[in-house]
């Protein structure tokens, strides 16, 4: 359940008695971005919860079409409260920003640690523009799943083409005789208005400092959204943050190099008190 009673669909892996860990996907993705990650982390002793963010996948859409960052953060807080225990939050892109504000802008937010996946306080506008341009492309959708898979492959040329295009079906929904992306198209208006507004960088840094919990920033080694110097600056200004790069991964670290991503975060997770 999200803020205001918005229903959030989630997948769960692991034993109910295991410590909780929440996986939060990026904008325009769904919970299925974690399909390979969730079972691996559950096998390591975590109870893993991966929700669809509001407006994504099979979770409810905002009735008024509003999707500001604070609302996503409120949803994360509501989910944490429902879990009833202090989870580790692992958030990619939008999920990372939402996690950071959820943990840092609410007094006593019950979080054990944060993993921010290709998220820092100041995104590279060129990389952000590339993402939003892709999301705005093909508003009329696709004739079939294979056509959508080809569009993703063209957008991510560094990633091997999938052997089975049907794997992308979870990111799509039927709209008449077409396939469209499985998120509320009104969300893009909110995205483009908040990418790097005045004061946002300091707001994110302040939130990170106020969390008071360990933070791991996982940067894609070839990311065009988080530059290496910005990731370093984030860690310099947040004493309890550290950084690791995942080689040959772009902004979508988990989708690009899932095994390397898991290898990068396991030592951090094992060190959490």
The 10s digit of each residue's pLDDT in 243-262 is 999 999 999 999 999 999 99
| Model confidence at 126: pLDDT above 70 | yes
pLDDT of residue 115 exceeding 70: yes
In sequence order, the 6+-apart residues with CB closer than 8 A to the CB of 92 are 24, 25, 26, 29, 33, 117, 118, 119, 252, 253, 254
Q: Are residues 109 and 172 located together in one domain of the fold?
A: no
Measured between alpha carbons, how far is 104 from 266 in angstroms, rounded to an integer? 23
Task: Please give the residue range of the domain that contains residue 160.
Answer: 128-181
- 40 shares a domain with 109: yes
Nearest-Å Rg of the Cα atoms of the chain is 17
Mean predicted lDDT score pLDDT of the chain: 92
For 33-43, how does the pLDDT look when each residue is reduced to its tens digit (9 = 90+)?
999 999 999 99
Do 85 and 22 share a structural domain?
yes
Number of structural domains in the chain: 2
Residue 16: how many CB atoms within 10 A of its CB? 7
Same domain as 111, residue 235? yes
- In the chain, the largest separation of any two C-alpha atoms, in whole Å, equals 53
pLDDT tens-digit series, residues 166-197: 778 889 999 999 999 999 999 888 765 455 67
Same domain, 202 and 258: yes
Beta bridge partners of 142: 179
Among 63-67, 75-79, 114-118, name the one with the lowest average pLDDT.
63-67
176 within a domain of the structure (yes/no): yes
CA distance 212 to 53: 25
Q: Which of 257, 252, 256 is nearest to 134 (CA)?
A: 252
What is this structure's pTM?
0.94
Report strand pairing: 20-24 vs 47-51: parallel
Q: What is the pLDDT of residue 174?
A: 92
Residue 188 lies in a domain: no
Q: What is residue 195's predicted lDDT score, i.e. its pLDDT?
A: 57
- pLDDT, one tens digit per residue, over 216-248 is 999 999 999 999 999 999 999 999 999 999 999
pLDDT at 1 over 90: no
Q: Is the pLDDT of residue 107 over 70?
A: no
Share of the chain above pLDDT 90, in %: 75
Instruction: Yes or no: say if 119 and 92 are a contact pair by the CB < 8 Å rule.
Output: yes
Reported as half-sphere exposure (CB side, CA atoms, 13 A), residue 222 has a value of 10
Place 108 in a pLDDT band, splitting at 50, 70 and 90: low
């Amino acid at each position: 359940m999200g803020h205001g009673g918005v229903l959030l669909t989630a997948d769960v892996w692991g034993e109910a008695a295991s410590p909780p860990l929440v996986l939060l996907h990026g904008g325009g993705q769904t919970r299925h971005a974690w399909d390979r990650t969730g079972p691996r982390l559950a096998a390591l002793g975590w109870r893993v919860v991966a929700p669809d963010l509001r407006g994504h996948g099979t979770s409810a859409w905002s009735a008024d079409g509003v999707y500001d960052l604070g609302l996503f953060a409120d949803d994360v807080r509501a989910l944490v409260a429902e879990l009833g225990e202090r989870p580790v939050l692992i958030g990619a892109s939008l999920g990372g920003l939402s996690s950071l504000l959820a943990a840092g802008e609410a007094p006593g937010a019950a979080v054990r640690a944060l993993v921010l996946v290709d998220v820092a306080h100041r995104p590279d506008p060129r990389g952000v523009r590339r993402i939003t341009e892709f999301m705005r492309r093909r508003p009329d959708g696709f004739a079939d799943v294979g056509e959508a898979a080809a569009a993703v492959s063209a957008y991510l040329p560094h990633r091997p083409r999938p052997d089975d295009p049907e794997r992308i079906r979870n990111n799509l929904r039927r709209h008449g005789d077409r396939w469209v992306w499985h998120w509320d198209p009104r969300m893009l208006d909110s995205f483009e208005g908040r990418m790097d507004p005045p004061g946002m960088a300091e707001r994110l840094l302040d939130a990170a400092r106020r969390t008071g919990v360990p933070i791991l920033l996982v940067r894609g080694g070839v990311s065009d959204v988080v530059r290496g110097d910005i990731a370093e600056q984030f860690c310099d200004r947040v004493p309890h943050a550290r950084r690791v790069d995942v080689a040959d991964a772009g902004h979508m670290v988990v989708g690009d190099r899932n095994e390397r991503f898991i290898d990068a975060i396991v030592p951090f997770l094992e060190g959490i008190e």
